[in-house]
Structure 1
């Protein structure tokens, strides 16, 4: 007879990121007929640097896109946090 715990899988700990490497923000103001989004992601490149991809526009469209190179992932994450704070001051909120 097998023990009850023998069939259970051991759970592996999950390391959550300390700093988010992506953000999706939106600003919806129906009284002004405004529905906008702003999306950012940090991507590694082939040379050990990092890219900050930014995309923005009206919700439901592809919008515009810009990719900014940074010397390392930490610099890209700092830029992401700085831009997210700026957008928050302008009324953007995390996507619900």
Structure 2
């Protein structure tokens, strides 16, 4: 089955950092979950852990976008 998984780090309005995960079947909107952390390094650590887990399960990096 063809699936996608997206991970994004983003700042909240209150200065915290969130890891936003979106997953589902290709061609659908999928589901989303946001986990917010008080410290940026905690969010980055979780982001790296999730990315490593997904690569281990067969997901591949497609590319990244960065807003200036």
| In 1: Cα distance, 2:12 partner to 2:37 partner | 10
When Rg is computed on C-alpha atoms for both structures, the one with the higher figure is: 1
Q: What 5-or-longer segments of structure 1 have no aligned partner? A: 1-33
- 1:57 lines up with 2:24 in the alignment: yes
Secondary structure of 1:78's counterpart equals helix
| In 2: Cα distance, 1:40 partner to 1:90 partner | 15
Dislocated runs of 4+, deviation >3 Å: none
- 1:78 lines up with 2:45 in the alignment: yes
| In 2: Cα distance, 1:75 partner to 1:43 partner | 13
When normalised by structure 2's length, the TM-score is: 0.84
Deviation, structure 1 residue 48: 1.6
When normalised by structure 1's length, the TM-score is: 0.61
